[in-house]
Amino acid sequence: MTVLTGCSVRVLSDISVGAAAFVDRVGRSWLSRTSGDGEVRGQELAILRRLALASSVALFAVPAGLSLVTSPAVALPAGVATVCAAFLFSAVGSIALSRQRPALRPAEAVIVEHRDLMLESAFGLVLLLDPQGNVTTVGGRDRTEFLSWMRDPTGRGFVEQIHVSDRIVFLQAVDVLRQGRDAHGADLRLERSAVASSDEQFVHVRMELTARRDGEGRLTAIVSQLRDISQDQQLREDAARKAAEAESANDAKSRFLAAVSHELRTPLNAILGFSDILSGEYFGKLENDRQREYVGLIRQSGAHLLSVVNTMLDMSKIEAGRYELLLESFAIEDTIATCEAMLGLQAKEKGLTLTSRIQRGLGEIVADQRAIQQILINLVGNAIKFTDAGGAITIDAALADGMLKLSIGDTGIGIASERLASLGQPFVQIQNDYTRRYAGTGLGLSLVKGLVGLHGGNFSIASAPGEGTVITILIPFDGSGAVTMQQPVDANRPVDFPPRLKHTVEIDEGRNKELMNGPAKAKIA
């Protein structure tokens, strides 16, 4: 009996092995023909094995079950057909789904592969840090270039290569990530391991740090990416140096103008005073008319030079922020009439027509009357200078949207469009060659723009060559835009000499915060 049982088990084992081999052989043949690349995947073959095992059991169970409700002659073929159809549908569907679903890999392998890809392909130098800021892994597309001048950054080696004053910046960046931020950036200077004669001792780098956390939000690692920004830093330093040089040159020009103007006023006052004495013949009569003519020319030339000096002084005050407006209420008609009275004779002698058009009921405005009169005199004087005989000059005044609108138009030589942008700058004239026809310093329009700006107004020019020029000025009618107060002086605050305009000082203070070493300053005692 025992022998028969053993033989039966051996026979069944041989049958199962043979059936499995048959299923593998048939399955391989079918899968190789249905796959696109002719490759048989083990996962698909395992699916066929499981389906074949389940179908072999169903070949007996399904007909037996059907025989309970119908005759065996019907149950046997129906059951076999049902099992075979189920096997085919299941096999085709399972294989199709397995081919559409991407192969699953362990999460650990995916993370390792992504990390390796980042270390190989990311630009710059990539460093993996622990939560204390120690380097654990080095990678990056440009690591060879970085490591050519760096020492080994692993462990504490990276921190030791950071400039001493920048190490606190690096530690603060790491601490920011510890406190919960996901990313942070810092600019650092790294020391070269070997410095050539043409190389700087330190290299400027931009370091971007990204936090890696566990499921509970604790910092587990830091990914840092370094990029060389030495060229960007050099450009910033060059721009700051050039700006400082331009500012220094502008300050030197302002100081020169102020010094020269003050030095010229003293002898000019003497020239004007003695020429008045000579022309008045207080200490004896002049012998002939030629002497009287020469004295008159001396007086006229001195007065002209004094006006130039006064203009230079006013420009120096405006640029230094020391021009104080004295706001008062006055009638603009009176100021325009004064301007016409002062320049009417000059226009008449040149054969020009000077007229004014003032809006009715204009009333009084609030402004610095001396400054407004100086604006009108400069603009009308320029119009007379650049208008040939037979031309006309008009002064218009009107009120528009709370602004006093002054327009001075002429029929003079006009200005080319490419020269309009340069007008209003100090020492710039329409004709600036060696044989210019018109005298002057080129400070008139610059002074006008400065005075209009102090009133909070706008200045515009419209002109065309041969067609004349129209200069329009808009000034707040009630004086609301005027600069009336200077900032209080702090005795402990370093200041430049001479002081500059308010907005220029604010720009300088912002720039000095960015620069490590600013220019030397003087202190008010």
| pLDDT given for residue 485 in this prediction | 46
Cα distances (Å, whole numbers) of residue 66 to 58, 59, 84, 354: 12, 11, 15, 124
Burial (CB count <10 Å: 0-12, 13-18, 19+), residue 430: buried
Burial (CB count <10 Å: 0-12, 13-18, 19+), residue 93: exposed
Which of the residue ranges 67-71, 80-84, 151-155, 506-510 would you say has the lowest mean pLDDT?
A: 506-510
Q: Tell me the C-alpha distance between 47 and 27, whole Å.
A: 10
Domains of the chain: 12-100 (no CATH), 108-233 (3.30.450.20), 235-311 (no CATH), 325-476 (3.30.565.10)
CB distance 57 to 69 below 8 Å: no
Q: Tell me the C-alpha distance between 451 and 473, whole Å.
A: 11
Residue 242: band (very low, low, confident or very high) from pLDDT cuts 50, 70, 90: very high
Which of the residue ranges 257-266, 276-285, 375-384 would you say has the lowest mean pLDDT?
A: 257-266
Q: Give mean pLDDT, residues 307-326.
A: 72
The one-letter code for the residue type at 31 is L
Q: Looking at per-residue confidence, does 205 or 195 come out higher? A: 205
379, two tokens: 């603009």
Q: Which helix (H) or strand (E) holds 435?
A: none
Residue 500 pLDDT > 50, yes or no? no
| pLDDT given for residue 374 in this prediction | 84
Q: Which of 10-14, 294-298, 518-522 has maximum average pLDDT? A: 294-298
What values do phi and psi take at 413, rounded to 5?
Answer: -70, -20
DSSP letter at 138 equals E
Q: Tell me the C-alpha distance between 16 and 115, whole Å.
A: 47
**Nearest 5°: CA angle at 483, between 480 and 488?**
130
Residue 145: band (very low, low, confident or very high) from pLDDT cuts 50, 70, 90: confident
Q: Which of 252-256, 310-314, 321-325 has maximum average pLDDT? A: 252-256
DSSP string, 252-288: HHHHHHHHHHHHHHHHHHHHHHHHHHHHHTTTS--SS
Which of the residue ranges 82-86, 273-277, 375-379 would you say has the lowest mean pLDDT?
A: 82-86
Q: Which of 6-15, 86-95, 467-476 has maximum average pLDDT? A: 467-476
What distance lies between CA 235 and its chain's CA centroid?
14
| pLDDT given for residue 496 in this prediction | 42
**Residue whose structure tokens are 């080129």:** 442
Q: Tell me the C-alpha distance between 251 and 496, whole Å.
A: 9
Residue 102: band (very low, low, confident or very high) from pLDDT cuts 50, 70, 90: low
**Cis, bond preceding 498 (omega within 30 deg of 0):** yes
Question: How, if at all, do strands 392-400 and 468-476 pair?
Answer: unpaired
| DSSP-derived 3-state class of residue 193 | coil
**pLDDT tens figures, 371-395:** 888 888 889 988 898 898 899 999 9
Cα distances (Å, whole numbers) of residue 161 to 151, 152, 167, 273, 503: 8, 9, 9, 74, 41
Q: Looking at per-residue confidence, does 200 or 483 come out higher? A: 200
| pLDDT given for residue 516 in this prediction | 37
| pLDDT given for residue 168 in this prediction | 93
pTM of the shown model: 0.44
Residue 15 pLDDT > 70, yes or no? no
CB distance 383 to 443 below 8 Å: no
**pLDDT tens figures, 330-342:** 999 988 998 888 8
Residue 141 pLDDT > 60, yes or no? yes
Question: How, if at all, do strands 328-331 and 353-358 pair?
Answer: unpaired
| pLDDT given for residue 512 in this prediction | 43
Q: Give mean pLDDT, residues 432-456.
A: 66
Residue 321 pLDDT > 70, yes or no? no
Q: Looking at per-residue confidence, does 82 or 486 come out higher? A: 82
Q: Give mean pLDDT, residues 406-435.
A: 67
CB distance 511 to 517 below 8 Å: no
| pLDDT given for residue 425 in this prediction | 57
Q: Which helix (H) or strand (E) holds 461?
A: strand 458-464
Q: Give mean pLDDT, residues 452-472.
A: 87
CB distance 155 to 135 below 8 Å: yes
Burial (CB count <10 Å: 0-12, 13-18, 19+), residue 36: exposed
The one-letter code for the residue type at 218 is R
DSSP string, 71-99: -HHHHHHHHHHHHHHHHHHHHHHHHHHHH
